[in-house]
Amino acid sequence: MYYPYFDQYFLLLIVPAMIFSLVMQIMVKSAYKRQSRVRNARGITGAMAAQMVLDANGVQGVRIEMTRGKLSDHYDPRTNTIRLSEGVYNAVSVAAVGIAAHEAGHAVQHARKYVPIKVRNTILPVCNIGSMLAVPLMILGFMLDFFGLVTLGLGLYALIVVFQLVTLPVEFNASRRALKAIEGQSMLAGGELAGAKKVLSAAAMTYVAALVVSLANLLRFLLRFSRRR
């Protein structure tokens, strides 16, 4: 096969990146599990926390709904809706407040026309296409010795890396907005606030891990391309 998946670059680049990603996933699940067992003193639910963040920033017209799944919380800019998982929407845990406030932070970004999130939304459609076609195009290009296809695949994959790079300030900014509102509205106190910070920090590192994996893959593709040339 012209493009074997397992090679020296896989061992040197991809394996360490995947281990790092796995560790980050374990950390966020562990932080969520611990803080989901801690009830906040004010008895604020995730849905209440999200609404309080919106109110603190003067943002109106955002719906807050429950969605199925675990850690499936997200903000949908298409419908201007915050969707909170079953373990967050009605929960009164420290983790629920932190996660819900973070998603409300994304809604505030959208309302304030935060530039990085506009850039991310702009390149998202192309990235969706690239995620499906980039690697197949590169493999086909290597097999046919048609480096035009390889170059196209590399370009699409590089755009995915750019998307993940732009995602970092979006996620970190949403967490900062969330924590500012949590402190300003006195939703959590003392150790509770520290617990929420741990959950949000661990979650943010999963996006860093995703970027590291993508960068490792892109570097591997480039090295293979240079070697074949």
Catalytic residue numbers read 103
At residue 165, φ and ψ (nearest 5 deg) are -65, -40
Q: Which two tokens stand for residue 39?
A: 């009830």
At residue 211, φ and ψ (nearest 5 deg) are -65, -40
Residue type, 97: V
Q: Look at residues 39, 49, 77 and name the one whose alpha carbon lies nearest to residue 186.
A: 49
Secondary structure of residue 156 in the 3-state scheme: helix
Which residue has 């290009």 as its token pair?
141
Listed in sequence order, the DSSP H helices in 72-146 are 86-89, 94-111, 115-144
CA-CA distance, 37 to 204, in Å (whole number)? Answer: 21
CA-CA distance, 99 to 57, in Å (whole number)? Answer: 17
Residue type, 194: A
At residue 61, φ and ψ (nearest 5 deg) are 80, 10
The one-character DSSP state at 144 is: H
